[in-house]
Amino acid sequence: MLPIARLSIDEASRLRALLFDLDDTLLDGTRLGERAYASLHRLREAGLVLVGVTGRPSGWAEVIARLFPIDGVVSENGAIACYADGKQLEILDGAGPARAERRARLGAIASAVLLRFEGLVRSDDSGARLSDVAIDIGEHQRVVPERVAAARAYAEELGARTFTSSVHLHLTLDGANKASGATRFLAERFGWDATASLGRAAFIGDSENDETCFAAFHTTIAVRNFRGRPTVPPRYLTEAARGDGFAEAASVILARRREGARDPSRIIA
């Protein structure tokens, strides 16, 4: 991975959007710091489309989409998205009428997993979820990796797909992931071709469930606390961790774009 300071004027100038994870990327754990939040305003003022891409629940996403200076949130690892269109909140759910039946099936699988693995508990944001069940493995309790792996394997035997983030083990019956959910949102909201989106949007994240975005998008950034071994590693790495790392990346992107605007000859056509 290259230091984020190596981001070129050309690469930054070509960006039209910044997609970002929440926990341990924009947020310091689950707290939003002043520098990270101010960076969202500066990025938006520069004309970039801003989209949160998170494993957090759709209920949280609805609040964030209304309150943050952003263009939408892709939540539950790509399955559900939302955006505020004036005063109206729009929800995008690819499952449509099948959602209720999937929720019932997934609830039965989650109950079986929790019954077998005594001591595991649902995350405290589970009531706000539509497409998945999240099990707390690092937010309020620490679960050893071997136990997480065993619970994942059992859930998959029962027919669920699984993801892990820095805080949760996710169980779902949806086929979406963060990358497919993000490109679908950009297509439905802005009419962007999915292939073109991969070159015009950057992604910044920190954990295992960000792997599909690290592999799909051309400009990818990890904050210093990045963990996991994705098949395709992020291209750039910040010096600072979590929200300060996000602010650092935003600062470099904006600086390079200003340099390109002052001297367009430095941008490769």
Q: pTM above 0.75?
A: yes
Inform me whether the pLDDT recorded for 269 exceeds 70.
no
Listed by start position, the domains of the chain span 2-94+176-266, 96-172
Q: What is the mean pLDDT of residues 227-233?
A: 86
Mean pLDDT of 64-84: 97
Q: φ, ψ for residue 19 (rounded to 5)?
A: -100, 140
User: Same CATH topology for 2-94+176-266 and 96-172?
Assistant: no
Count the neighbouring beta carbons within 10 Å of the beta carbon of residue 133: 24
Tracing tokens 């950057």 back to the chain, one arrives at: 202
| Assigned CATH topology for domain 2-94+176-266 | Rossmann fold (3.40.50)
Give residue 229's pLDDT.
82
State the average pLDDT over residues 28-55: 96
If you average pLDDT over residues 104-110, what whole number do you get? 97
96-172 topology per CATH: Hypothetical Protein Ta0175; Chain: A, domain 2 (3.90.1070)
Percentage with pLDDT > 70 across the chain:
98
216, pLDDT greater than 60 = yes
